[in-house]
Amino acid sequence: MTIGSNARNNIKAFFTPDELAGFLAISKSTVYRLVNKRQLPFHKIGGVLRFRRDDIERYLDTERIEPIKL
């Protein structure tokens, strides 16, 4: 059975905790702390944490702090 291109793209759309830490430039322990506080959107697949790139990008948009206009 071969994986179609859409399935391959979906696989790449998920981060592991290590990959997410690198993507966000934070420590892996910070990733786990944010997960434990339910501040980061995540999936648990077979007991393994995965983070969908689209969810993380939406999360970053909601956490954005606008500059103060002087």
Instruction: Tell me the per-residue pLDDT of 20-45, one tens digit each, with 9 for 90 and over.
Output: 999 999 999 999 999 999 999 999 99
Residue 55 contacts by C-beta under 8 Å, 6 or more apart in sequence? 41, 42
Amino acid 1: pLDDT = 45
Amino acid 70: pLDDT = 86
Mean pLDDT of the chain: 88
20 SS3 class = helix
Q: Is 64 exposed, middle or buried (0-12, 13-18, 19+ CB in 10 A)?
A: exposed
Residue with more model confidence, 11 or 35: 35
Angle ∠(30,36,39) on CA atoms, nearest 5: 75
CATH architecture of residue range(s) 13-62: Orthogonal Bundle (1.10)
For the entire predicted model, the pTM comes to 0.76
Instruction: Let me know: does 59 contact 20? Beta carbons within 8 Å.
Output: no
